[in-house]
Amino acid sequence: MSDLPARFLASLTSSTSLGLAVSGGGDSMALLHLAAACGLRPAVVTVNHGLRAEAASEAAEVAAVAAALGLSHETLLWQGWDHTGNLQDAARKARRRLIAAWALQNNIASVALGHTQNDIAETFLMRLQRGAGVDGLAKMAGHWSEGGILWQRPLLDFTRNDLRLWLQAQGKTWVEDPSNDNPRFDRVRARKALAHLQPLGLTPTHLAQVAAHLAEARTALDTLADQWAKDTLREEAGTVLIDPALWKAPAETQRRVLQRVILWIAPADYAPRGSQVGQLLARLADGQASTLAGVRFIQGRGGLRALREVKAAAPRCSADHIWDGRWQVVGNLPQGAELGALDAAGLAQCPAWRSAGLPRAALLASPAVWLGDRLIAAPLAGFQGDLIRALPLHPLL
């Protein structure tokens, strides 16, 4: 157990300008005390989800521990739960969003989270039950960039039990969230199932190793998909032209390339499931136009084209904001201008739209600047495109 601080320090991707997300539970308190034992001076943040009366006192306890270690601490309050949908998923997204904003405001370049080997194993079982493929079963990332900061999971090679034994040896305490024993949550059921699987040798360490092997397989599959995407995809004014040579690729590669196309046109937290994309592929193979996750696939003179479905596009927003997850305007705009879909009303104000060379369906969902009912600009339809440019935020390849 004495080597835990050294192992922890070696597992950090970056220790510069570091923040720690600490709830007060055993995993995150181990994260805090290991960082301190390594001589690091991270900023500490706690998110109070406002779901339990004890949460405020737990956040205050984390603040007291941080102060005793000479570290800054801030508590962030989430008040956005509307009691619909998946509570744990909503809380996770809100927590990540709040912490990212806190980090950016405090010039913190990286935030470490307390996920452990047990989290890998529990996630593996939860996704196995849902019939996930390679991507879903693969080990969670040890680090990634999102929201302008680097996120790290330096405890993925540590078991929950190892961390608690180390805390006990150091005379440190932590709190146990009663929701961790609530069987209505999938993760709690997976945790209990793990206890029954361990006599069969299916320990958290073993399942984490399997997930790591699958992560290597995922990397290989993504590398192959990268090459096929470069050879068969072509961006054109916010749409994607797909070369029929793609259908010579392995089925898994076809699925991955189409998932990439869908996420580029309609950005989302997750790509459609492989089974859904497989059904899409079958329809396309029959020559059918088809729609999935707000993206339409149509056959035309240029071959198969993927474009945004106008019914699924985001509503108008202020013209200085990002619209539909990927479009922004560059240029001087009149006060009150909005950014939104061109739609049929706007297309009627673009007499030369056919010269743009794009299908009508693609132009209907293309970005346009509006002032009330008056069209100010529709760059992809050739209307005032020299005055205002609209650019996708993310490259396709």
Domain with residues 4-207, CATH architecture? 3-Layer(aba) Sandwich (3.40)
Q: Nearest 5°: CA angle at 124, between 179 and 15? A: 80
Angle between helices 160-169 and 26-37 (to 10 degrees): 60
Q: Which of 275, 237, 238, 277 is nearest to 257 (CA)?
A: 277
Name every residue whose Cβ is closer than 8 Å to that of residue 358 and which is 6 or more positions away in sequence.
236, 237, 239, 366, 380, 381
Q: What is the pLDDT of residues 320-355, one digit of tens each?
A: 999 999 999 888 888 999 999 999 999 999 988 999
210-217 average pLDDT score: 96
Q: Which of 280, 278, 343 is nearest to 313 (CA)?
A: 343
Name every residue whose Cβ is closer than 8 Å to that of residue 206 and which is 6 or more positions away in sequence.
none
Report the C-alpha gap between 248 and 232 in whole angstroms. Answer: 11
- pTM recorded for the entire structure: 0.84
126-140 average pLDDT score: 91
Q: What is the pLDDT of residues 58-98, one digit of tens each?
A: 999 999 999 999 999 999 998 766 656 666 677 788 889 99
In the chain, where do the E strands start and end?
18-21, 43-48, 73-77, 110-112, 143-146, 149-152, 233-236, 239-242, 290-292, 295-300, 303-308, 317-318, 327-330, 338-341, 367-371, 374-377, 389-392
Two structure tokens written together for 44: 């500490």
Name every residue whose Cβ is closer than 8 Å to that of residue 39 and which is 6 or more positions away in sequence.
none
Q: Calculate the average pLDDT of the chain.
A: 91
**Measuring CA to CA, how many Å separate 145 from each of 13, 100, 214, 276?**
12, 11, 21, 28
Angle between helices 55-68 and 26-37 (to 10 degrees): 10
* Count of residues in the chain: 397
264-293 average pLDDT score: 91
- Please, what's the b/e burial string for 286-316 (b: 16 or more CB within 10 A of its CB; e: otherwise)? eeeeeebbbbbbbeeeeebbbbbbbebbbeb
**Domain locations in the chain?**
4-207, 237-308, 312-392
Q: Is the pLDDT of residue 41 over 90?
A: yes
Q: How many CB atoms are closer than 10 A to CB 51?
A: 13
Q: Nearest 5°: CA angle at 325, between 97 and 243? A: 130
Report the C-alpha gap between 3 and 130 in whole angstroms. Answer: 37
Q: Which of 271, 313, 320 is nearest to 296 (CA)?
A: 313
Q: How confident is the model at residue 147 (pLDDT cuts 50, 70, 90)?
A: confident
Report the C-alpha gap between 301 and 236 in whole angstroms. Answer: 14
242-249 average pLDDT score: 95
Look at the alpha carbons of 132, 137, 138, 142 in this order and tell me if their dihedral is positive or negative. positive
Instruction: Output the pLDDT for position 281.
Output: 94
297-311 average pLDDT score: 92
Least confident interval from 37-41, 76-80, 117-121: 76-80
